[in-house]
Amino acid sequence: MAVTTQDSVNHGFVRGAPVDAMPAPAATTGAIGWIRANLLSSPANIALTIFSALLIYWIVPPIIEFMFVHAVWSGNDREACLPTAERPEVGACWAFARDRFAYFIYGSYPIPERWRVDVFFVMLAVGIVWLLWLEAPRRDLGALYFFVVVPIVSYILLTGWEAIGLRAVDTSLWGGVLVTIVVSWVGIVFSLPIGILLALGRRSHMPVVKLFSVIFIEFVRGVPLITVLFMASVMLPLFVPDAYSPDKLLRALIGIAMFASAYMAEVVRAGLQAIPKGQYEGAMAVGLGYWQMMYLIILPQALKITIPNIVNTYIGLFKDTTLVTIVGIFDFLKTVEVSRIDPKWAAPTTSATGYVFAAIFYFIFCYGMSRYAKSVEARLAKGDRR
């Protein structure tokens, strides 16, 4: 075949130089393209878009109107939140939440002693930041601080110790966020070590140890938390000599700790199962005993991969603390319940306001924890990426 160069046949209608690429059609790029691809790609998709838009239209504007547009921000009693002729539509009664704010936080804790609760919150916050912030210095000391120092100091601080001039405050006066935090924190602090022991027990070769661990875990996991709380509340006092009958809050704390430990045991067990056999064999090969092997080799790896699940268990625990109401303890939700039926603030929207306020509180905590779990998961996944 004869080789012809481009120039050899010079047709007038053929371009000599390539044309610059045209921009993509407007319909496939930018906002319009995005809308076409994500909202209107097919008839079914259009139908779904209309359906979703309607749903959003029904849900979102009323919520915004309730929470902001028609909301009442200040006032001293129910009068402020009653619908009147010039204001027929009354939204959230935020004046109520503001008035009751201190009660929501401290319950009936004596007012001159409330600084102690504040100190407790600050100590706890320091401990949490120390442990969760990964670049923090000396996180081993942080763990010691969080799991040993804070419990002892805050116990003395919150219950009081006459010898150093702290008035005793009976736990029946505790309430609100204070109780919610105390209950969930005790659950968190106790459930991890007990859960680890139970998980190790369940995987133990000693039949008796294994049997008792399995019975405990399956028994507690098979029943609702309410019945565990009932058990702790009405049966525990029967089982100990009358003189040592534990106080109401302590009973609930024991119930919560038992419940959380059983769930934590299963989470930890999953982590232990995920550790390859070679790790155990390697540990044994260098002559480590059982506890050394667990403490130095197995548990650090197992806990590392279970952190997201541990955090999820804590989220569940934090939400479940609301159930302690059933045994007569004034947690945060209970203080909201008591306040919303208080005649001083009885208005049509008081109940809804109280619940929305509580929902925002719980959402911030739980969502924060779940975000943290996600970020840990993402960070750990980096190490496994090839």
Partner 1 sequence: MSIAQDSGPPKVSLLYDPKVRSIAYQVILCAIIVFLAYSAVRNAAENLARAKIASGFGFWNQTAGFDISQTLIAYSAQAGTYGRAFWVGLLNTLLVAAIGIVLATIVGFLVGIARLSKNFLLAKLSAGYVEIIRNVPLLLQLLFWYNAVLKALPDLRDSWTLPGSIFLNNRGFFAPYPIFSSGAEFVAGAFVAGVIGAIAYARWAKKKQDATGEQSPVGLVALGLIIGLPLIAFFAAGMPATLEFPEKGRFNIRGGLEILPEFVALLIGLVFYTGAFIAEVVRAGIMAVSRGQTEAAGAVGLRTGPTLKLVVIPQAMRVIIPPLTNQYLNLTKNSSLAVFVGYPDLVQIFTGTVLNQTGQAVEVVMITMAVYLSISLITSMAMNWYNARIALVER
Residues that bind partner 1 (CB under 8 A): 38-39, 41, 45, 48-49, 51-53, 55-56, 205-209, 212, 219, 221-227, 230-231, 234-235, 237-242, 315, 319-320, 322-323, 325-326, 333, 337, 340, 348, 351-352, 355, 358-359, 362-363, 366-367, 370
Q: Which residues pair with 93 in a beta bridge?
A: 72
Report d(CA 255, CA 243) in Å as an integer.
20
State the Cα–Cα distance between residues 66 and 90, nearest whole angstrom: 8
Closer residue to partner 1 in complex, CB, 169/265 = 265
Cα–Cα distance list, 380 to 93, 307, 348 (Å): 45, 10, 49
Instruction: Name the nearest CA neighbour of 185 among 331, 303, 321, 366.
Output: 321
Per the rule left: phi > 0, alpha: psi between -120 and 50, beta: everything else, 107 is left
Least separation in angstroms between CB 303 and partner 1: 22
CB closer to partner 1, 13 vs 244: 244
| Min CB(227)–partner 1 separation in Å | 5
Tokens, residue 26: 């407007």
Residue 372 neighbours by CB under 8 Å, 6+ apart: 132, 311
The distance of closest approach from Cβ of residue 132 to partner 1 in the complex, given in angstroms and rounded to an integer, is: 18
CB-nearer residue toward partner 1: 296 or 359: 359
User: Which CB atom, from 24 or from 55, has the smaller least distance to partner 1?
Assistant: 55
Residue 173 or 209 with smaller CB distance to partner 1: 209
Least distance to partner 1, CB of residue 124, Å: 20
Among residues 70 and 114, whose Cβ is nearest to partner 1?
A: 70
Q: Which CB, 123 or 226, lies closer to partner 1?
A: 226
Minimum distance from residue 50 beta carbon to partner 1 (Å) = 9
Nearer to partner 1, 121 or 230 (CB): 230
In the complex, what is the shortest distance from the CB of residue 381 to partner 1, in angstroms, rounded to a whole number? 15
Cα–Cα dist 315/374, whole Å: 13
How far apart (Å, rounded) are the C-alpha atoms in residues 191 and 268? Answer: 11
Nearest CA among 312, 289, 326 for reference residue 369: 312
Q: How far is 105 from 329, CA to CA, in rounded Å?
A: 14
Minimum CB–partner distance for residue 334 and partner 1 (Å): 10
Residue 88 main-chain phi, psi, to 5 deg: -70, -30
Q: Are 108 and 179 in contact (CB under 8 A)?
A: no
Q: What is the DSSP letter of 304?
A: H
**DSSP H helical ranges for 321-349:** 332-340
Q: Which is nearer to partner 1, 52 or 76 (CB)?
A: 52
CB of 38 to partner 1, least distance (A): 4
Cα-only R_g, the chain: 30
Other Cβ atoms within 10 Å of 226 Cβ, number:
14
> Shortest distance, CB of residue 24 to partner 1, whole angstroms?
20
